[in-house]
């Protein structure tokens, strides 16, 4: 299936006071490259996010941006260091007695003392939020894939249509190839006839046949036509392949263009030259489209 390399996927979801937004942008690139931007508190999930997105992208540069607004960057629970609190209370009473202080350390002051109270992440809540985040990434990746496949259908239709036109022109070339040789034979005989009318000489039919044979060998495009036909068939086959095909299609177009150039250079028959130019023009249009194929 043909897929476009460009696409966009987005997913938003809320959980409690937290709001999660996932955006995935894909653009043309020679290889597969996935960049992930996560909140610092969740940077440990970068590899999992990249691996997950890679299941939906075969080639191209992909930027994954994940934002979490509100609380629950990671779920937390309040924890008290009772050992430190007991030590502080004991010291407070000792100091109050020794220095005749009116009141020992109060609860408010104790809670504000650094290290007495702190928050800690709970493993269960952390895993739940991580699973939630990855689920939203998967949904955004599916949205991206849907857009890439929709554009891929358009690319497939365009490339198939242009390929069919090239195949039709190749069939015309097969019919025109012998006509070019026959035209050369006729033109050569006409010229010799004109010369003979001005300066009488005996027409050497063997030499004429030799000259025509030389021309036929020099202008023979049968091999180029055969290779061009083969490349067209390979191109059509690749359009239905399940793996990434963009680079293979680009290679085939280069080879097809090479054959068209050779045909154009050998052409001594105007209709063949015109068809070679038409084929080269169509191949260039196809190559522009293939640059966006995954």
Residue 281 token pair: 């023009």
Of all residues in the chain, what percent carry a pLDDT higher than 70? 80
Rg of the chain over Cα atoms, rounded to whole angstroms, equals: 38
Phi first, then psi, for residue 56 (nearest 5°) are -115, 0
Judged against a pLDDT cut of 50, whether residue 232 lies above it is answered with yes
pLDDT in tens, 40-64: 888 999 999 999 999 999 999 999 9
pLDDT at position 73, please? 45
From 117, 135, 148, 109, select the one nearest 45 (Cα to Cα): 135
- Which spans in 199-269 are helix H? 205-218, 222-238, 246-266
Q: List, in order, residues 6 or more apart from 97 with CB less than 8 Å away.
A: none
pLDDT in tens, 138-152: 999 999 999 999 999
Q: Which residues pair with 66 in a beta bridge?
A: 22
């Amino acid at each position: 299936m043909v897929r476009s390399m460009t696409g966009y996927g987005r997913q938003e979801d809320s959980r409690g006071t937290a709001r999660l937004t996932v955006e995935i942008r894909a653009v043309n690139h020679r290889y597969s490259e996935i960049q992930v931007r996560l909140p610092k508190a969740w940077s440990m999930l970068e590899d999992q996010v990249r691996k997950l997105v890679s299941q939906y992208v075969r080639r191209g540069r992909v930027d994954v941006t994940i934002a979490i607004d509100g609380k629950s960057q990671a779920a937390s629970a309040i924890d008290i260091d009772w050992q430190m609190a007991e030590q502080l209370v004991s010291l407070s009473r000792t100091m109050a007695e020794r220095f005749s202080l009116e009141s020992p350390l109060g609860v408010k002051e104790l809670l504000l003392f650094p290290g007495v109270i702190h928050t800690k992440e709970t493993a269960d809540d952390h895993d739940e939020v991580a699973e939630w985040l990855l689920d939203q990434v998967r949904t955004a990746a599916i949205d991206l894939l849907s857009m890439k496949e929709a554009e891929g259908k358009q690319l497939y239709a365009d490339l198939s249509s242009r390929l069919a036109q090239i195949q039709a022109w190749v069939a015309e070339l097969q019919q025109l190839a012998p006509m070019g040789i026959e035209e050369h034979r006729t033109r050569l005989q006409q010229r010799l006839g004109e010369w003979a009318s001005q300066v009488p000489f005996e027409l050497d039919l063997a030499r004429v046949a030799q000259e025509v044979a030389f021309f036929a060998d020099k202008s023979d495009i049968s091999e180029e036509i055969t290779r061009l036909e083969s490349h067209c068939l390979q191109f059509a086959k690749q359009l239905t392949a399940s793996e990434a095909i963009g680079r293979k299609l680009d290679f085939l177009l280069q080879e097809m263009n090479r054959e068209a150039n050779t045909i154009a250079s050998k052409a001594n028959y105007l209709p063949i030259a015109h068809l070679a130019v038409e084929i080269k023009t169509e191949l260039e249009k196809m190559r522009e489209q293939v640059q966006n194929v995954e």
